[in-house]
Structure 1
């Protein structure tokens, strides 16, 4: 997937791939690889790719998105039924497949974002208008059309799981995009967005995107399979939740006095980039201002110096993160994102340091209480006061080990793209053990306390702060006087930690390599024995079911292998994924000393 190409709507890719002959479909993945090696030149709203000396492909993207198959043109002799058009669409980021935008006066200054674009809490920046609310008592049961659309998404996602990211080529991706578009038209935006997120994750995995995380793709697959599996059995409020909303409503919120907290860059595998600035009001409620649009690492780095699109303010995101904002006529989404409509007025105001009111109260909340709220569905930011200990080596790279009130916490980088200074800053902080800092992190649900490090106090100046994804620390910023590093706190019960990773590993292996990987592992009997010995009998049963489903290949009367039962394997995998997520949340709450999370 190339961030140099404009985003392409899901139905466009599905249409172009479906039009290929069986012979060309077999060559599609090779065609994508070849196309990605060619330079893309942007000319206004058009992007031109020179396939060879005589052939060019042109993608017309008014507004940054290709919305019709006719907008992709090729100069080869086989056009329009050539391989090049389908390859270009499959190599591009996936665009939002939302319905047409509302009138300009209703959505002025508000930019919809693609599914999978992480903003606060790794969420999608929500579009800012709402669907017409339905009368109470309507949509008590799913319609036949929605059931068919949900089944199509489920089957397409199960086929992707069957093949794994390694084997899910452009044809399988296009089938899932087609199902996603049908689900959107049938009024199932949640299933549609989840399906698009899976395609985005698969493309990131196959292109070795630096921001790709296997756990994220596994979560996306579990999300789309879970929603479409449950939807036929849902009624009433549960059905409404599973359907989702294409656009979240922005409610009026009067006048707000906000204080900047920090800014974080946004850089996604979908080809979107920008920045999100977090603010808080006098009561400690969090609000965000975002600027996310098509782009790559350069836009993610530069967006912090772009002017905030709200009212008459001339503040940049970087300035707002340290200053304040007075807003009148504010509109706010359910996720805390501030709208920027024509009636919103905003001017610069004084800010506050993290150790002054009202921001100081964010760090006054015990870490265990913050974790409990995050696991219960509130924002997942953690405001921690930590003492740096050193580094802890992990397979994905070193992380920062810190002591948070007697709890050993691992602080990892929020994004691995080398254009962002997260990892360099973490290495420098690790070289200053003993420093006591206030930090902001994003909770990671794991059996041991873990968070993604987003911002921190300046090591030598507590009145200053560092946005670790935007600002770059220097060696001179570290304390000149060495501080003795504290002893690493003991982890209670570390030697008796539940071996849940044995099941999680198989869940992730299936996402990466598909069903065939688990069919060669001899049923995981040894892992099952270890799980039962640790008291995780349910985990052992789920692991056995997963291996049995992977190895189940029946033969016909002539001894020929019949097609695998993708539905059985998908159900077994989904059960294992949901179980591990639930147990990990409980273990995460226990590790932080938080109250148990309701089932």
Structure 2
């Protein structure tokens, strides 16, 4: 059994089942989750059955695809309902998205897309500077609520999120088992009820990533958990200090409103598969208006990568169009009565009418204009969209449209990516958008690595890094005819200029792999906290030499943050009798968050500079 075979379970259900366990059974919960994961499962309609042993079965009833109540998980063992099996099943299953992420038109017929569930809107301008001190939990703010400030219940919910996130940092992945995760789930559920969907979504992301890390999921990346934890702690502490528009941005939105746009003429760009950690799958098709504005049409629901491949050939649910998603990515639409969300999603209410129209090649107007903006300007726009310190831009603003010459494969610590040269002689790394073997991303990228010298138009999503980096989503066909959706279409060797060529390793480029900046010395310590916790970081030894190197490179703030972070990790005070006092988890979390936010801000600056043309 794996988590994808189980229906998603609502956060409050998992939290309640774990809270109801006796202290003795809580100690056995992680072992029970592992043991249950090795047992066979069977699905019959809305019910999934797990064979606990040869005589005992456990059932999860999920009407509508989600286990929404505690009573929907039943066990046939003698200790039920007070057994450990029910809680273990809930902890092994994916966490359900509490609500659709977008607010559809009243008569909308398309399924909600949970791919960005509860990520809501990024914050407005940060209340604190990246290099300045980050306050502790929101409870430290005044208990009175001035106009436009958070209510006491919101601050209490934020406190609970902060404490749960700090506990994860204290324990690390290795110590953040099912009980720690259930505390996060309870805090997330409470925060959502208190109108804090954005920090609640961050907490759910942390739980999902913790489970992926502890299960050995090959798609897990420590950097993802670092980002999620920084988002959780950052939004939790800002609830008490923010007011007005900033507080609204910190709260986020559980649903995305749609506004009327009248008539739109749209041109298809490409279609990308969407596979989420919660077991959802589908596609998102990108289209462009004549003025260059990007919009999307999506279809995502429970089903994983298999559903993503199937939905690509289903008709788009928009008006009277009979186009499939693959076809729309290369054709056009004329839409009347259109409605669009702030992030560019097209609504599909009954009042929306859409008919098939002629598309445009990437080299023809109006699409050709997307490739005419200099790469550095495109990267700056994408950074404004992806930064945690800036308001969100328009839909699709994290996409880059580049003309490149392929150089070949380049090896990295996490695998192999494709190196290419874009405008101004800037070397850019093209990484795989999704490593799921059912999708075509990896195979296509490795095939393109056998064709150095090939010139292509590409579409990729910016990855903030000290070097130019994109996840590759689509490209013009190497043979010169049409386009390739790199997650869905599979290139063949016959499509390449030299079908027999082996994978070509590209030569190292000047400034390769962020070698010009020692910021990684701070980033490494930030990352090392997550797998093993505060205590492990405190035992990693003296960092005086690393701090001196940062100062020599003109990064004195980074040096100070590194020294403070490691010192707080190692610090354990004693009482008058020499007994160790409890660790200052809040203080360490504050230092870690300050370092993580500073590191992210500097990395964004380095990323913007890396995209400038080479002289």
> Do both proteins adopt the same fold according to a TM-score greater than 0.5, normalized to the shorter chain?
yes
In 2: Cα distance, 1:389 partner to 1:368 partner: 20
Summarize the Cα distance change of 1:113–1:32 in structure 2 as closer, same or farther, 3 Å threshold. farther
Deviations 1:308-352 (A, max 9, x none): 122222222111111112222111110001111221122222211
Summarize the Cα distance change of 1:435–1:68 in structure 2 as closer, same or farther, 3 Å threshold. same
Please report how far the alpha carbon of residue 587 of structure 1 lies from its aligned counterpart in structure 2 after TM superposition. 0.5
Summarize the Cα distance change of 1:522–1:93 in structure 2 as closer, same or farther, 3 Å threshold. same
Q: How many residues align?
A: 577
In 1: Cα distance, 2:505 partner to 2:343 partner: 38
In 2: Cα distance, 1:388 partner to 1:118 partner: 37
Q: For 1:188-207, what aligned pairs fall within 5 Å after superposition?
A: 188-207=196-215
Unaligned runs of 5+ in 1: 123-136, 595-599
- What is aligned with 1:342? 350
**Does 1:409 find its partner at 2:428?**
yes
Summarize the Cα distance change of 1:403–1:146 in structure 2 as closer, same or farther, 3 Å threshold. same
In 2: Cα distance, 1:493 partner to 1:201 partner: 29
Deviations 1:219-238 (A, max 9, x none): 11100100111111111111
In 1: Cα distance, 2:497 partner to 2:559 partner: 50
The match for 1:232 among 217, 228, 240 is 240
Deviations 1:164-188 (A, max 9, x none): 1222101000000100111111111
Please report how far the alpha carbon of residue 413 of structure 1 lies from its aligned counterpart in structure 2 after TM superposition. 0.6
Summarize the Cα distance change of 1:495–1:552 in structure 2 as closer, same or farther, 3 Å threshold. closer
Checking the alignment, whether the CA contact within 8 Å between 1:252 and 1:331 is kept in structure 2 is yes
**Does 1:280 find its partner at 2:288?**
yes
Summarize the Cα distance change of 1:486–1:194 in structure 2 as closer, same or farther, 3 Å threshold. closer
Q: For 1:333-372, what aligned pairs fall within 5 Å after superposition?
A: 333-372=341-380
Deviations 1:211-252 (A, max 9, x none): 322212111110010011111111111111111122111111
In 2: Cα distance, 1:413 partner to 1:99 partner: 28
The match for 1:443 among 462, 484, 494 is 462
- What is aligned with 2:258? 250
- What is aligned with 2:482? 464
Checking the alignment, whether the CA contact within 8 Å between 2:199 and 2:232 is kept in structure 1 is yes
Summarize the Cα distance change of 1:480–1:337 in structure 2 as closer, same or farther, 3 Å threshold. same
Unaligned runs of 5+ in 2: 123-144, 386-392
Deviations 1:251-288 (A, max 9, x none): 11111111111111111211111111111111111001
Q: Which secondary structure state, in structure 1, belongs to the residue aligned with residue 318 of structure 2?
A: coil
Checking the alignment, whether the CA contact within 8 Å between 1:165 and 1:512 is kept in structure 2 is yes
Please report how far the alpha carbon of residue 147 of structure 1 lies from its aligned counterpart in structure 2 after TM superposition. 0.7
In 1: Cα distance, 2:162 partner to 2:115 partner: 18
**Does 1:543 find its partner at 2:562?**
yes
The match for 2:438 among 419, 429, 436 is 419
Checking the alignment, whether the CA contact within 8 Å between 2:493 and 2:499 is kept in structure 1 is no
The match for 1:289 among 283, 297, 309 is 297
Indicate the RMSD between aligned Cα atoms, in angstroms: 2.5
Q: Which secondary structure state, in structure 2, belongs to the residue aligned with residue 383 of structure 1?
A: strand
The match for 1:478 among 496, 501, 510 is 496
Summarize the Cα distance change of 1:113–1:195 in structure 2 as closer, same or farther, 3 Å threshold. farther
Q: Which secondary structure state, in structure 2, belongs to the residue aligned with residue 386 of structure 1?
A: strand
Please report how far the alpha carbon of residue 75 of structure 1 lies from its aligned counterpart in structure 2 after TM superposition. 1.1
In 1: Cα distance, 2:227 partner to 2:38 partner: 30
Please report how far the alpha carbon of residue 488 of structure 1 lies from its aligned counterpart in structure 2 after TM superposition. 6.2
Please report how far the alpha carbon of residue 209 of structure 1 lies from its aligned counterpart in structure 2 after TM superposition. 2.2
Q: Which secondary structure state, in structure 1, belongs to the residue aligned with residue 349 of structure 2?
A: coil
In 2: Cα distance, 1:330 partner to 1:572 partner: 47
Deviations 1:130-160 (A, max 9, x none): xxxxxxx996111111111100011001101
Checking the alignment, whether the CA contact within 8 Å between 2:102 and 2:255 is kept in structure 1 is no
